Amino acid sequence: MRCKILQGLLVKKSDGFTLLEVMIALVILSVGLLGLAALQLVAIKGNSFSSEMTTATMIAQERAEMLKNRPYTDLDLVQGTHNAVGSSKGVQYAITWEVTDNTPATDMKLIELSVSWQSARQGQASAATAVTARLQTIVRNL
């Protein structure tokens, strides 16, 4: 260890950090990393929910296009409520569409599509939440 005399006082010069300083720095770093890990989990949940919502929207659009390409008198276009089931990436989707005749005008049908699923990724991790994506379209008698 090198010593230096400064105005009559013997001053010890030490290089590096003390054990206490290192421990305090590690505690601060650990708290920051734990906060970052929690944010990472929230981001993963959000990305999974977004994927489910995108899939549900695609299913609704696909069903709407399929119904629009059917003949005006098709059984799937009869006034009333119709149901179907689909699945993607391990998630079960319930597809429901309601057909209303002569709406918004004569020789037109209003179709209201709903795609619902149980999402464990939205809300609390212990309980699944029902989520629904909705879409409307009109079919015209040509």
Domains of the chain with CATH codes: 17-140 (3.30.1300.30)
The pLDDT value recorded for residue 122 is 58
Q: What is the separation of C-alpha 83 from the centre of its chain, rounded to a whole number of angstroms?
A: 24
88 pLDDT above the threshold of 70: yes
Query: What is this structure's pTM?
Result: 0.74
Q: How many CB atoms lie within 10 A of CB 104?
A: 9
Secondary structure percentages of the chain, helix, strand, coil, to 5 = 35, 35, 25
Among 12-16, 17-21, 32-36, 58-62, name the one with the lowest average pLDDT. 12-16
Name the band, by pLDDT with cuts 50, 70 and 90, for residue 17: confident
For residue 77, pLDDT over 60 is answered with: yes
Mean pLDDT of 112-126: 78
pLDDT value at residue 129: 83
